[in-house]
Structure 1
Amino acid sequence: MPEQPFESVEDFLQDLRFQQWARGEAPGDKRYWQAFLNSNPDKVHLYEEAIALILIMQGNDLQPVNSSRKIRQIQDAIADKVTEKRILPVWQWLRWGLAAMLVVAVGFWWSNRTTNKTAEVAATEKFIPALKQSVTRRNERTQAMLVNLPDGSSVLLSKESSVRYNQQMNGKKRVVYLTGEGFFEVVKDANRPFFVYADKVVTKVLGTSFTVKSYPDSAEAIVSVKTGKVSVSTAAQNAGSHTSLTLLPNQQVNLLVENQKLTTTITEVVKPSEMTPVQKEPFEFEFTPVAEAFKILEANYAVKIHFDEVKMRDCTLTASLKDEPFLEKIRLICLATESSFQVLEDQIIISGNGCQTP
């Protein structure tokens, strides 16, 4: 793994080993940089930009960069290479190609896109290591789709939305890449923060429930909190500005990019009319028949729960499950009814003696 922190583009460009890799002089370093990207997804955009800067400059004789002035000189040189016929700057072409290869939702906003791949994009593709042990789930249905994550957290995906995550999710950070809209319920773990990377926002939590909505073809992104506390951050690409804020329960932030400028609007109390059904549902049960509790879960999470109605007919549930991921809700109900469960895609099988009176 790389030893230095790489907190900026300058750090990458000052590193001789990185320069050799970017120029194609060290093909044996593929695993080295792949491990770095897998462990530091928040630094992918710095890595991409450094690769692009070196390639665009045809940096076979590039010397270590030791000042911000040199970075600006390189960036100015990139601008000089842009012809009047080209709609987008070279760097935006590169970033689009890199992001598409990584399936990483990095924030970038521009209005006119083209489908022609430039030579610069083709030249960069060989430098992007394949991400291993990742799973991508996409909702192709018209209704919501529940995805249970390896750490026990869950995300309810809206239609035409997808998430990508590591199969094990056992690192120091739990990372999910979202395209579109998803309602997250996150298992609490103070030692392993949970990050959701979307097209325009990065959301960080320790354990809570919230919605992130950020489609690549939309100028607006929304983060809405149901329970707990959420940290939201984003960066405006061209202006270089940075927004970071904290949201509390029932607060929402709308981020809008217009004319390459970012504006944020915080709503202190989210109206019920603006909430999805799962956000509205309190999941508060007081002597509620278990069969009724299962129906509430089925309706909100788009799953089918199979159980023996005869054995469960005398079971009631008293619990507050508003802040628990879906599988934790199921586990707690099974614990209260001396039952067990199995997960088969979007179906839950409940087994056990239930509360049948002898």
Structure 2
Amino acid sequence: MLHLRLIVPTDRTDEVVHLLESTVGTTHLVVMSGVARDPAGDMVLCDVAREAGDELIGALRRLGIDKSGSITVENMDLTLSAHADKAEEEAPGEGADAVLWEELAEATHEESTFSVTYVAFLAVATMLAACGVMLDNAILIVGAMAVGPEFGPLAGISTALVQRAPRLVWRSLVALIGGFAVAMILTAGFAWLMDVFGLFNRPMIEAARPNTAFIWKPDAMSFVVAFLAGIAGTLSLTSAKSGALIGVAISVTTVPAAANAAVAFSYSDYSQMSGSTAQLLANLGGIVVAGTLTLLVQKILWAAHRRRTGCIPSPSADSGRRGRPDRSRPANGPAGPGPAEPAPATSGPADYRPAERD
């Protein structure tokens, strides 16, 4: 379940409540009039099944609530409520299969920022990997891969390509290319400094190094492994399974390849440098291709599922309340004497039509 906290201008509250009550999969609706101060308005709270969350958030944005008020979404780890259980049963699909595109875009935007912290993590990971390749120590290589933050920009590129967001593509490319460039320059300087102190030397880079030689000897399996890791990493992001992302990080040799290229350059070993660069590009390319295809498949399958099962109604004034009774007034019309008119028959979620995304 997702928890939504909305700040809504007073003159739009009825429209928003109308939308929330009309959405299959929502429950625990609370309206607190006039409590919000900045921005001023009413606070509206509700819980919604994850599989209905993306369309609902999109509908609220089309109403302009993100501009005139605010939309805050939180993941709920535990909800003990029969109403919540019923809402999840009514919502079409499975929550694990649903992609919250707004959440994904926000997460990848945050992770693909060319910041001091991002560059520091990448540089430290690359230097750690440099120690691993020079000492032929697989444990240091694994540690360096776990520390590297490069999956964020890679996921950002995939998300931006699927969502047709050129600004996010550019932002992610700057973080990815700029981050690796800075990290590799710093690692080359680190290798020179370690050589000055006698901790690195040329025989170490020219040794056979059986545990880490694969780093500068790419083959078809390099791309295959990166492709599979890209699928797993993308699924871990869209399903909020962050634990799986650690396994993805230690399955591809992006950071070690960048480290080996930097160290090889510092010792003028251009053969290893070119091989490591090819390994790096194969891994980056495999992850981006896999991530983009995974998101496309998820988007197509979920859209097809929503067309079959129905979705929330369009947030227009005359859309009507379908699939749920109107809680704000009697279902049989104005109060008065005489027999009650039967409410229109509904067929549940199938009455809904998916709202079109921009």
Answer with 1 or 2: which has the greater Rg: 2
TM-score, normalization by structure 1: 0.26
TM-score, normalization by structure 2: 0.26
Higher RCO, 1 or 2 (CA under 8 Å, sep at least 6)?
A: 2
- Whichever structure has more helix as a proportion of its residues is 2
